Structure 1
Amino acid sequence: MPRVFLSFRKVDSRWMRDRVYQGLIGRFGAGEVFKSGESIPAGADFAEILRRQAAECELMLVLIGPAWLEARGDDGMRLIDRADDWVRVEIETALKAGNRVVPVLLGDATMLPEASALPHEIAHLARLQFLRVPETHLAEELERLCAAVADLMPDIGHGSASPTAPAAPAAEPTVTMTAQVSGGGSAYQAAGDQTIRLA
């Protein structure tokens, strides 16, 4: 089961969240990171899977971009204020389960929402130390994010989902040869991994 859960709002900072996802799976393996659009198979009960993954993940990264808090539905109501908003449900589920939740601010100017701007059930999010992924020098910043995740979960990526280095080829056995040399005979030439013992 994936140990890292990416929580995000679909209308918010798509290109940056996709870069974050690619950076994480490139470092730790796709099996370690849950992202709803990539990790839920067709025909599966997505509501059940989202709730279970949010409850059982070891680390939830809440990706927050400029449109995360103020995104609204057709009725003008903020999505985060709806009890059935999936972003809200995911965060609330992880917090209730006692999982580590880390806000990740996407972009140079995005600010962590204040507790008063959040529903009571997830207001604790505003008191959690955040990480930031600025748009400038994005490759280096993604490396920094991955390093922070590795610090929080030192053994992540060490399971079967992580790439492993190919085993070194076994050494060829040394071949010992005996050559009889009579007066004036020509020299015997052997391969580099062979030993010639004159008798």
Structure 2
Amino acid sequence: MPRVFLSFRKADSRWMRDRVHQALTGRFGVGEVFKSGRSIPAGADFAEILRRQAAECEVMLVLIGPAWLDARDDDGTRLIDRAHDWVRVEIGTALKAGNRVVPVLLGDATMLPGESELPYEIAELARLQFLRVAETHLADELDRLCATLADLVPDIGRGPEQPAAAVGPAAGPTVTMTARVSGGGSAYQAAGDQTIRLA
């Protein structure tokens, strides 16, 4: 079960959300990150899967770009104002389940929507601390996003069978050295990762 859910609007900042997805899956693994276009099998009931994943994820990252709030349908109605808008449904489901929801602002100038701009069941989003992924120094911004997510979900990417890394010096290759001792001298092990063989 993926532990991170990416919520996004398809018409909004596609290239940046793709970079976010690539960074997260590259760091933590594809199985840890749910993205609707890639994580739902062909022929599956996407509505049931979306609701279940939104309810059961540990962290939902709401990717908000410049077109996220004001995207409209053909009759001019904001998508976020439609009761069946999937972005609205996903966020509302995660908030109702008590999951951690993190707004992620894509770009240098994107602003977090205000409470009065959002439907009542997701108005809480406006009060949540956001992260920003700016276009300038994008690689560094993505590294920071990954580091923040690792802090929120400390064992993400390790899987149940992989224990946390032990604290201590990293294991290195064994180096074998040959020493010639004469005249009653002594030989000592030079270091913990070196073996000295008397000739």
Match of 2:142 in 1: 142
- Looking at structure 2, the residues matched to 123 and 161 of structure 1 have their Cα atoms a distance apart, in angstroms, of 39
* Code of the aligned partner of 1:122: I
Name which one, 1 or 2, has greater alpha-carbon Rg. 1
Q: Which residue of 1 aligns with 2:181?
A: none
Report the TM-score, using the length of structure 2 for normalisation.
Answer: 0.81
Residues 97-116 of structure 1: CA distance to partner in whole angstroms, max 9, x if unpaired? 00000000000000000000
Residues 11-160 of structure 1 aligned to structure 2 (within 5 Å)? 11-159=11-159
SS at 1:132's partner residue? strand
The one-letter code matched in structure 2 to 1:24 is L
Alpha-carbon deviation of 1:87? Answer: 0.1
Per-residue Cα deviation, 1:18-67 (whole angstroms, up to 9, x for no partner): 00000000111111000001100111000000000000000000000000
Counterpart of 2:179 in structure 1 is none
Q: Is the contact made by 1:4 and 1:59 (CA closer than 8 Å) also made in structure 2?
A: yes
Q: Which runs of 5+ in 2 are unaligned?
A: 166-170, 175-195
Q: Deviations over 1:73-130 (max 9, x none)?
A: 0111000000000000000000000000000000000000000000001000000000
Task: Provide the C-alpha distance between the structure 2 equivalents of 1:29 and 1:7, rounded to a whole number of angstroms.
Answer: 18
Query: What secondary structure is seen at the aligned counterpart in 1 of 2:10?
Result: coil
The structural deviation recorded for 1:194 is: 8.5
Counterpart code for 1:8: F
The answer (yes or no) to whether the contact 1:30–1:161 under 8 Å persists in 2 is: no
Letter in 2 for 1:136: T
TM-score (norm 1): 0.81
Compute the displacement of 1:158 (Å): 1.2
1:150-193 CA distances to partner (integer Å, 9 max, x unpaired)?
1111111111698xx9xx9x98xxxxxxxxxxxxxxxxxxxxx9
**Rounded Cα–Cα distance in structure 1 between residues aligned with 2:97 and 2:104:** 20
Q: Relative to structure 1, is the Cα distance of residues 37 and 158 closer, same or farther in structure 2, using a 3 angstrom cutoff?
A: same
Return the letter of the residue paired with 1:152: L
In structure 1, the residue corresponding to 2:63 is in which secondary structure? strand
Structure 1: how far apart are the matches of 2:8 and 2:107? 14
The total of aligned residue pairs comes to 173
After the TM superposition, which parts of structure 1 deviate over 4 Å for at least 4 consecutive aligned residues?
Answer: 193-196
- The two structures, once aligned, show a CA RMSD in angstroms of 2.3
Distance 2:32 2:82 in 1: 30
1:161 to 1:30, Cα distance in 2 relative to 1, 3 A: farther
**Residue 77 of structure 2 aligns to a residue in which SS?**
coil
Matched residue SS, 1:83 = coil
SS in 2 for 1:101: strand
